[in-house]
Amino acid sequence: MALALLWITQLQATPSLQEEAEWQAVRDPVGYLRRLDAHPQQDMEELDKALALLTQRKPTVTDHQMPDSGWHALNGLALYRTGHFSVSSKALQARLLADQGRYPEAYHALIDYMHDYKQHFNQTPSQHAAAFQAEMDLARSEASNRALQQENERQRKQLLHQQSARNYQLVLVGLLASALLLLGITTHRLHRSSRHLYKLATFDQLTDLPNRRALLERLATRWQQEGTLTLLIIDIDHFKQINDRHGHQAGDRAIQLLARELRSWAPDLQLVGRWGGEEFLVAVPLPAEDCWHLAEQLRQRIALLDNPRMTISTGVAGRSPADERLGQLIHRADMAMYQAKRQGRNQTILATIPSAQDELASSVA
């Protein structure tokens, strides 16, 4: 009764449901336990609070003699509370049932405890294995993600490197193209300058015919070949008078007119050129007699020209066995031209073929 009075004093502020539950446990423990077994979920929140209060007050009543029914009430409340705990609480449940003399129920509770313990024991490794497997899967996933991130970073750096390499290649190609373009322009200019210099060195600017140096080079090549060769040296008559009367432009025009006629008349333009001043030289691969007739046709055509009017004197010399050098043939053609001038101009003189005796006398003199 002392325990009941103590409970009443300590639980005056508690709800009536707690007070009723505690009084029922003290007065009729067996009936109260049966009611709990029949309705295990009834007033569970209030019973939890009552059990917590009883647990707090238990040390204060340990020195008092408690009836067996009171302890059975406590055991009943503890037994009810153990029904909502884990597997390990079922061993306590079996002991509480045994303390109340409910041995069959204690035995079945103990059997349930052993069964649940074995099941829990068997499930624990599998749960640990599953957790370990999950951790391993998570670790592999994280490692795979890190590897993927590293691969993505490597590919990104590789792409940046390739882009930089492509940029360098484009710059290099641009520089190379610019260098090639500059080289092409420079080569074109050099080629054009070279052609211009070659033309200046090879052709006469007034007539666009080969000059004296070019003629000598070509005549030297032609002289090395066997075959007939005749030289014609043509000079404009009274050229100084043309310049004095009509001016130097008229003299230049007379030279250009003669060059134009020579282009249309000469058989081989490679061997036609301005020899110097108002003189021209023509090399023809024909006998001297045929060339004399050709020269006469040219002289007649020139005499018909106007603005300015002019005539020409021509010396013709054919290659002979006595001509050992090209200079000898040129000299004979030049002498024949001067002979035409001395004989009155506007005529064509065929040089005589030198004999061995003449050649010998010339060498002795």
Q: Which sequence positions are flagged as catalytic?
A: 278
**Cis? peptide before 308, omega within 30° of 0:** yes
CA pair distance 182, 209, nearest whole angstrom: 34
> Computed from CA positions of residues 358, 362, 363, 365, in that sequence, does the dihedral angle turn out positive or negative?
positive
Residue 87 near residue 114 (C-beta atoms within 8 A): no
The residue type at 258: L
Q: Six-digit token pair at 142?
A: 């994280």
Burial label, 22 (beta-carbon count in 10 A; 0-12, 13-18, 19+): buried
Look at the block and give the residue holding tokens 């003199």.
365
**Alpha-carbon distances of 131 from 69, 124, 125, 137, 280, rounded to whole Å:** 47, 10, 9, 10, 116
With a CB cutoff of 8 Å and minimum separation 6, the contacts of 305 are: 257, 261
Q: Six-digit token pair at 136?
A: 């391993």
Q: In terms of C-beta distances under 8 Å and separation of at least 24 residues, what long-range contacts does 77-85 make, across chains too?
A: 77/25, 77/47, 77/50, 77/51, 78/51, 79/33, 80/33, 80/36, 80/40, 80/47, 80/51, 81/47, 81/48, 81/51, 83/40, 84/44
CA pair distance 160, 173, nearest whole angstrom: 19
In Å, the largest CA–CA distance within the chain is: 186
Residue 354 near residue 288 (C-beta atoms within 8 A): no
The residue type at 27: R
